[in-house]
Amino acid sequence: MQVAALDEFGGPEVITPRMLPVPQIADDEILLKVWTAGVGVWDALRRQGMLVPEGASFPLVPGTDAAGTVAAVGGKVTGLTVGDVVYVSDSMVPKGGFYAEYAATNAQYVAKLPAGVPVEHAGAMPTDALTALSGLDALALPAGAWLLIFGASGGQGHLAVQLAKRQNLNVVAVASGTEGVALVTRLGADVSLDGHGDLDDVLARIREVAPNGVDGLLAMAGGATLDRLAEAVRDGGTLAYPNGVQPQPSERPGMTTQAYDGESNPGQLRRLNELIEAGPFQVHVAEKFPLGRAAEAHRRLQTSYPGKLLLTVR
């Protein structure tokens, strides 16, 4: 099978096309025929020698999320059959990740693709969507609460906007530039603001809709802009951020800060599907790359873009 793999850790140039054997599956695994695979920051970290699964060896195939069809099913797997269209978020993959035509993955990380999400885009969704869901869980806001999302037009952020609206939250989305603002507006944000603009104006607009402050802040990035936006959180409110955000958000009296990780398990996958199926759901793909140009996709990771990057395998 064709893959994109690396024989050493380093920059994007270490990822090269090659041929490797199709992996054999265990009783609790499925063999995924990959259609599309997401390209995320965690893939870059693995390429650099971090977040490497125990038992993995060179040549190392990156990729933690994908969508495709079930090509084979292990003897102990239930609920999945050959031919099912599915998506996967699996950060372990010791037999190789999803930058490949086929990949073996534990069935507990696999879910059938819900209606409304095309398989052509779904590979970019799983890890970011599950992480966004964990962020909303960390905040645990009641329906009708005001949520501020910083980095709302990014890979995790634009999915968080949609999941938050399905939980009946009022969403203030701070996005990147006019293109980002247009994206989050289209996805249903109640208020869409440009984080590249005057922050005094941004904060004033937030106070107009939430005079007492927002109830929670979901931060997809750190830095001085986030520190200013945290002024909009009411006393007793919470700022939640995914582990890995740098610099880590500053704490202040009266506001709780909480880090979180995405979770891939049958319960979370089921919850995610229920939320997705509640209405139209969009996975915004900024750019697609064929499998043979995975190194180029990793170089694109280092730039700014709305939504997600995607490898098209089939």
DSSP calls for 59-127: SB---SEEEEEEEEE-TT--S--TT-EEEEE-S--TT--SSBSEEEEEGGGEEEPPTTS-HHHHTTSHH
User: What per-residue confidence (pLDDT) applies to 176?
Assistant: 95
φ and ψ at residue 107, rounded to 5 degrees: -60, -20
Name the nearest CA neighbour of 96 among 32, 152, 139, 146.
32
Mean pLDDT calculated for residue range 154-159 = 98
Query: Is the pLDDT confidence value at 42 over 90?
Result: yes
Match domain 128-260 to its CATH number in 3.40.50.1110, 1.10.600.10, 3.40.50.720, 2.60.40.10.
Answer: 3.40.50.720
3-state DSSP of 153-212: CCHHHHHHHHHHHHCCCEEEEEECHHHHHHHHHHCCCCEEEECCCCHHHHHHHHHHHCCC
**Number of neighbouring beta carbons within 10 Å of residue 206:** 22
The Cα–Cα gap between 311 and 70 comes to 18
Residue 12 DSSP SS3: helix
User: What per-residue confidence (pLDDT) applies to 116?
Assistant: 84
The Cα–Cα gap between 238 and 201 comes to 22
Residue 80 falls in which region: left (phi positive, over 0), alpha (psi -120 to 50) or beta: beta
Domain locations along the chain? 2-125+283-312, 128-260
The percent helix, strand, coil of the chain (3-state, each to 5) is 30, 30, 40
User: What per-residue confidence (pLDDT) applies to 112?
Assistant: 98
The Cα–Cα gap between 115 and 131 comes to 21
**Number of neighbouring beta carbons within 10 Å of residue 15:** 25
Query: Is the pLDDT confidence value at 312 over 90?
Result: yes
**CA angle, 136 then 140 then 142, to 5°:** 110
Structure tokens at 92: 């372990």
Average pLDDT of the residues of the chain: 96
Query: Is the pLDDT confidence value at 146 over 90?
Result: yes
User: What per-residue confidence (pLDDT) applies to 28?
Assistant: 98
Architecture of domain 2-125+283-312: Alpha-Beta Complex (3.90)
The Cα–Cα gap between 23 and 3 comes to 12
Name the nearest CA neighbour of 226 among 191, 200, 192, 195.
195
User: What per-residue confidence (pLDDT) applies to 55?
Assistant: 86
User: What per-residue confidence (pLDDT) applies to 159?
Assistant: 98
Mean pLDDT calculated for residue range 207-234 = 97
φ and ψ at residue 276, rounded to 5 degrees: -60, -40
User: What per-residue confidence (pLDDT) applies to 279?
Assistant: 87
Q: How confident is the model at residue 313 (pLDDT cuts 50, 70, 90)?
A: very high
Q: Which residues are within 8 A (CB) of 313 and not within 5 positions of it... i.e. 6 or more apart?
A: 34, 35, 36, 37, 66, 68, 100, 101, 291
Query: Is the pLDDT confidence value at 47 over 90?
Result: yes
User: What per-residue confidence (pLDDT) applies to 251?
Assistant: 86
Structure tokens at 191: 């208020």
Would you mind telling me the total number of residues written for the chain in this entry?
A: 314
Q: What is the DSSP letter of 252?
A: B
* Residues paired with residue 32 on neighbouring β-strands, in sequence order: 70, 103
Name the nearest CA neighbour of 295 among 93, 89, 44.
44
**pLDDT tens string 88-101:** 999 999 899 999 99
User: What per-residue confidence (pLDDT) applies to 76?
Assistant: 98
Mean pLDDT calculated for residue range 25-52 = 96
